[in-house]
């Protein structure tokens, strides 16, 4: 049971200079100069005593926290005073915000109401948060709030700071009855925001299109354990721990050095399979939450029905490590049941893998290695906010087969930087595209190279800083 908590402030260490230098080397001198100019603009806007705050509801796990772990140190390395606050709440608060999560993705979620009583309880929790947070804020501060857990802080804290912006990382391509209810709940709380931020323009609901809106997609952090280059021996060790290589899995802890950052591989994955892929057998992998909207069971059905060759790895977190999200266990068990019902020859071509979550750096290395071992990476989401796992795989020059939903459409141009299925429920077309992507052809190699270039050009951390500077100085 969560207790009602005051705001927690997570102070991250100053950026590793090597990462800043590596980023500037990766983006080139012109973009590096624009990055520094943007930082100078932010510092000028903040004045002598201001701080740029980011606020969300978790310090670890999920794309938002992952980005903040990168961008806060980057800001500091550029001389921008930047801090990160993580808000807390009670069970009632998180029950309401989970309902909002489902609604904004177009789903009824648990079917519970989002009315006046829920808004009262939601704001009561955030009033407690605001009382604690107010002691940390100054009149020249600029605050960027992330997602529906924080929206009520706009009115509660707006008069205490220079500006408040709200960023939404979720959405639907077409509004539904459920999403309309979600926006009915949130829209009155946005009236006094200085600006709104969405990942893609088609996720801005019609009622907010007249507000000041900035389009800012998430970014890929190229030097974190999930994305940085891995030595062949590290990949081999990680695959052995994940049940994707022949031979016994290591029984002793292994420490790998990622550019001076040791990561300990201490925990084995939970693997449901007949055995690993055969040497040289092409691998299709989807790495997602065990979540209805990620449609892992749909990938399993499409692969075993319409993909004649290759091996499928469905990879997600260990549901036992996420006790407050029982749905992950339900949907993982759905995949296990479907796998068990397969004929033996098909069952031997599929692995269901639950990665350990005790150490997030360890988890990230395992994900990285699996993406690099895969011939193709899939993301057959039914709906999607942005789908940063797509960009991560594209950065590794993988041909991604994905649904043409949400922010995935901003990342992949079909046939150029990846392959898209228009209807996520069309299993035959999805299977055909996976079959194409598994083939060892010059066309697929070239597509993977273009995919990496597209991510490097459009979805790195410098875009976050440059766009933020433009937003707060306009």
pLDDT at 100: 96
Band of the pLDDT at 3, cuts 50, 70, 90? very low
pLDDT at 388: 93
Q: What is the CATH number of domain 8-219+460-473?
A: 3.40.50.2000
Residue 471 exposed, middle or buried by CB count within 10 Å (0-12, 13-18, 19+) = buried
For 21-37, what is each residue's pLDDT tens digit? Answer: 999 999 999 999 999 99
* Cβ atoms 306, 431 nearer than 8 A: yes
pLDDT of 467 over the 50 cut:
yes
pLDDT of 7 over the 70 cut:
no
Question: Average of pLDDT values for 112-121?
Answer: 96
For 203-252, what is each residue's pLDDT tens digit? Answer: 999 999 999 999 999 999 999 999 999 999 999 999 999 999 987 777 78
Distance CA 336, CA 376 (A): 22
pLDDT of 2 over the 50 cut:
no
pLDDT at 324: 58
Distance CA 253, CA 362 (A): 11
pLDDT at 258: 87
For 143-171, what is each residue's pLDDT tens digit? Answer: 999 999 999 999 999 999 999 999 999 99
Question: Average of pLDDT values for 79-94?
Answer: 92
Answer left, alpha or beta for residue 100, where phi above 0 means left and psi between -120 and 50 means alpha. Answer: alpha
pLDDT at 12: 38
Distance CA 304, CA 347 (A): 8
Indicate if 232-458 has the same CATH topology as 8-219+460-473. Answer: yes
Q: What is the CATH number of domain 232-458?
A: 3.40.50.2000
pTM above 0.85, yes or no: yes
pLDDT at 110: 79
Strand partners, 82: 52
Pairing of strands 350-355, 311-317: parallel
Q: At which residue do the structure tokens 């693997």 appear?
A: 271
Domain boundaries, the chain: 8-219+460-473, 232-458
DSSP class of residue 436? Answer: H
For 11-67, what is each residue's pLDDT tens digit? Answer: 433 344 558 999 999 999 999 999 999 999 999 999 999 999 999 998 877 789 889
What SS3 string covers 101-113?
Answer: HHHHCCCCCCCCC
* Cβ atoms 311, 281 nearer than 8 A: yes
Sign of CA dihedral 184, 93, 190, 38: negative
When the pLDDT of each residue in the chain is averaged and rounded to a whole number, the result is: 92
Question: Which has the minimum average pLDDT: 76-80, 108-112, 246-250, 386-390?
Answer: 246-250
């Amino acid at each position: 049971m969560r207790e009602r908590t005051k705001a927690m402030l997570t102070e991250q260490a100053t950026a590793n200079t090597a990462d800043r230098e590596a980023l500037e080397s990766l983006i080139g001198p012109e973009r590096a100069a624009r990055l520094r100019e943007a930082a100078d603009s932010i510092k000028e806007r903040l004045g002598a005593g201001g701080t740029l705050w980011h606020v969300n509801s978790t310090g670890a796990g999920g794309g938002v926290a992952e980005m903040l772990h990168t961008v806060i140190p980057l800001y500091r390395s550029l001389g921008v005073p930047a801090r990160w606050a993580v808000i807390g709440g009670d069970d009632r608060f998180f029950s309401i915000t989970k309902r909002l999560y489902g609604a904004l993705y177009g789903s009824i979620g648990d079917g519970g109401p989002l009315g006046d009583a829920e808004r009262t309880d939601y704001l009561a929790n955030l009033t407690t948060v605001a009382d604690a947070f107010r002691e940390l804020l100054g009149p020249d501060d600029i605050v960027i709030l992330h997602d529906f857990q924080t929206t009520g802080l706009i009115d509660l804290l707006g008069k205490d700071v220079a500006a408040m912006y709200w960023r939404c990382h979720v959405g639907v391509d077409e509004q539904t009855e459920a999403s309309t209810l979600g926006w009915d709940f949130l829209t009155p709380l946005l009236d006094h925001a200085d600006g709104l931020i969405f990942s893609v323009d088609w996720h801005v609901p019609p009622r907010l299109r007249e507000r000041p809106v900035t389009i800012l997609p998430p970014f890929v952090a190229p030097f974190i354990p999930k994305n940085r280059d891995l030595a062949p021996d590290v990949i081999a060790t990680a695959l052995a721990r994940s049940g994707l290589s022949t031979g016994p899995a290591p029984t002793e802890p292994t420490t790998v050095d990622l550019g001076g950052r040791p990561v300990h591989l201490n925990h084995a994955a939970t693997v449901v399979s007949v055995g690993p892929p055969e040497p040289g057998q092409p691998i299709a992998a989807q790495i997602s939450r065990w979540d209805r909207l990620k449609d892992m069971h749909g990938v399993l059905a499409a692969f075993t029905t319409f993909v004649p060759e290759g091996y499928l790895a469905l990879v997600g977190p260990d549901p036992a490590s996420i006790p407050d999200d029982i749905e992950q266990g339900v949907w993982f068990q759905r995949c296990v049941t479907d796998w068990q019902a397969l004929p033996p020859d098909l069952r031997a071509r599929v692995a269901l893998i639950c990665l350990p979550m005790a150490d997030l750096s360890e988890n990230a290395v395992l994900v990285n290695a699996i993406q690099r071992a895969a011939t193709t990476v899939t993301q057959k989401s039914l709906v999607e906010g942005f789908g940063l796992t797509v960009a991560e795989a594209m950065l590794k020059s993988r041909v991604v087969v994905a649904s043409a939903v949400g922010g995935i459409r901003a990342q992949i141009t079909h046939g150029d930087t990846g392959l898209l299925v228009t209807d996520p429920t069309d299993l035959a077309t999805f299977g055909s595209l996976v079959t194409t992507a598994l083939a060892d052809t010059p066309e697929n190699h070239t597509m993977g190279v273009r995919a990496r270039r597209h991510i490097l050009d459009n979805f790195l951390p410098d875009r976050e800083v440059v766009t933020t500077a433009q937003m707060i100085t306009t």
